[in-house]
Amino acid sequence: MKNFLVHSEDVKAEMCSATGINSVKDLFKQIPEAARMSGLSLGDAKSELEVQRIIKQMAKINRTDVIDFKGGGVYNKFVPACIAQIAQRWEFLTAYTPYQAEIAQGTLQIMYEFQTMMSRLTGMDIANATMYDGATACAEALLMAVRISKKNKVLVSRKINPEYLDVIKTYMWASDISVDLFDEIPAQASEYACILVQTPDYYGEIADLKPVEGTMLVVCTDLSTLSILKPPAQYGADIVVADIQSLGIPMSFGGPHAGVIACREKYMRQMPGRLAGRTVDKDGNQAFTLTIQTREQHIKREKATSNICSNQALMGLWVTVYLSVMGEKGFRQAGYLSSKNAHVLAEKLSEKGYKIKNKNFFNEFVVECNDADLVLKKLDSVNISGGIKLDDNHILVAVTEMISDEDIDLYISVL
């Protein structure tokens, strides 16, 4: 067991000499001194009872009852209590074997049902069994379009989520692919592998989309809006990507999330990630298996379509349970309430003299004001998280089914 003990001072000195440094501290010299922890300052040991009391007092400092009007890619949506209970049952958790999925029938069936739901929502022929998140789904879709078209340039909307755009730029830089940005959708773009548009975009505006001549159309969407809006397949999308957080996944301080890619059947073999399929075994019983495995762990590296080495099947499980529990009627009702509440708030803000910058929006919009900091500070004084500050004069406001009429009235009353 001695090999697992902390290194002695003599061993540390020997290691420093071998690596050409003076001390262990030199290993961390690139980290600013101000960012380093000087010590834990734990104090004397305490009993379990004492620790519980301290933690409870610390927990009271947290503000957990804030009325949330923030969006920008993460939304405070209604999550039925039964979802956590179902998704965390041992039958699901013990079946979650991400690297041996072919022997976990429960996981494979959930993947298959998830894919079916995503295909139905988007109107596309096929969907994969999740990606890491919406940002990586966007970037992987662009790489997918480049492989299909053999073109080395992509066209991306400036109005896409800025975090997604950062990930896209990193991916494309590493792959030596040119990225051009646009404000208005061009009529034709034949020199590009694809055009990527988000609808509703980061600012909540619903784009009027149609196929672009000479290139593939990649659409990034919020799946919860498809409870009301047309599926992307109906306006000519070739590939659809999305973050699935708005479908029953709690905000959880920003993660974990998951993404998804859906596409036309002819592009199926260029789709990254995993694809679960349904068949029958030799006895005629229903069976599930991985039908397409594009990862380098499963196939020759040069044949792989992505180096993404896992997926978010547990988050896919949450979404599958959420959509099953809500049903089509409940899902549509949640979308209707989100949109209705947003338009009620926007109308009341207009009556107050604030300018709404959007022409067409679902449940998210931009408000123009004289002083964004002052507006948000007033709202914070009554426990309202009023939106995302875009600049000194604009706030991005999101409204979901979690917002009541009283919440809207309170929002308006303090302005």
**pLDDT for res 1:** 47
Could you give the angle at which helices 313-351 and 405-413 cross, rounded to 10 degrees? 50
Q: Examine the domain organization and report whether 379 and 305 are in the same domain.
A: no
pLDDT (0 to 100) of residue 80: 95
- Are residues 73 and 88 both part of a single domain? no
Of 321, 342, 373, which residue is a domain's last?
321
Cα–Cα distance for residue pair 220/222, rounded to 1 Å? 7
Measured distance CA(91)–CA(107) in Å, rounded: 10
Residue 78 has phi, psi (to 5 degrees) of: -70, 125
Same domain, 117 and 228: yes
Within a domain: residue 138? yes
The verdict on 136 and 267 lying in the same domain is yes
Full domain range(s) for residue 150: 81-321
Confidence (pLDDT) at 94: 73
Clarify whether residues 314 and 394 are in a common domain.
Answer: no
Question: Domain end: 258, 292, 321, which one?
Answer: 321
Residue spans of the chain under pLDDT 70: 1-5, 95-103, 293-303, 307-311
Q: Is residue 18 part of a domain?
A: no
Same domain, 101 and 211: yes
Residues 381, 353 share a domain: yes
Query: Is the N-terminal amide bond of 272 cis, ω within 30° of 0?
Result: no
Residue 231: Cβ within 10 Å count: 19
Q: What is the pLDDT of residue 244?
A: 97
Please give the pLDDT value at position 311: 67
Residue at a domain's end among 321, 352, 380: 321
Let me know if residue 30 belongs to a domain. no
10 in any annotated domain: no
The answer to the question of residue 54 being in a domain is no
Q: Are both 124 and 200 inside the same structural domain?
A: yes
User: Is 263 found in the same domain as 363?
Assistant: no
Residue 135 and residue 200 in one domain: yes
- Count of other CB atoms within 10 angstroms of residue 406: 9
Q: Return the CATH number at 97.
A: 3.40.640.10
Structure tokens at 157: 């909307």
- CB burial of 286-313 (b: ≥16 within 10 Å; e: otherwise) equals eebbbebebbbeeeeeeebbbebeebbb
What single letter denotes the amino acid at residue 18?
A
What CATH number should be reported for the domain holding residue 384? 3.90.1150.10
pTM of the predicted structure, to 2 decimals: 0.86
Number of domains in the chain: 2
Q: How far apart are CA 218 and CA 130, in angstroms?
A: 17
Burial class (CB in 10 A: 0-12, 13-18, 19+), 193: buried
Q: Within this chain, do residues 201 and 347 fall inside the same structural domain, yes or no?
A: no
Residue 1 within a domain: no
Give the model confidence (pLDDT) of 238-250 as tens digits.
999 999 999 999 9
Residues 72 and 89 in one domain: no
Q: How many residues does the chain have?
A: 415
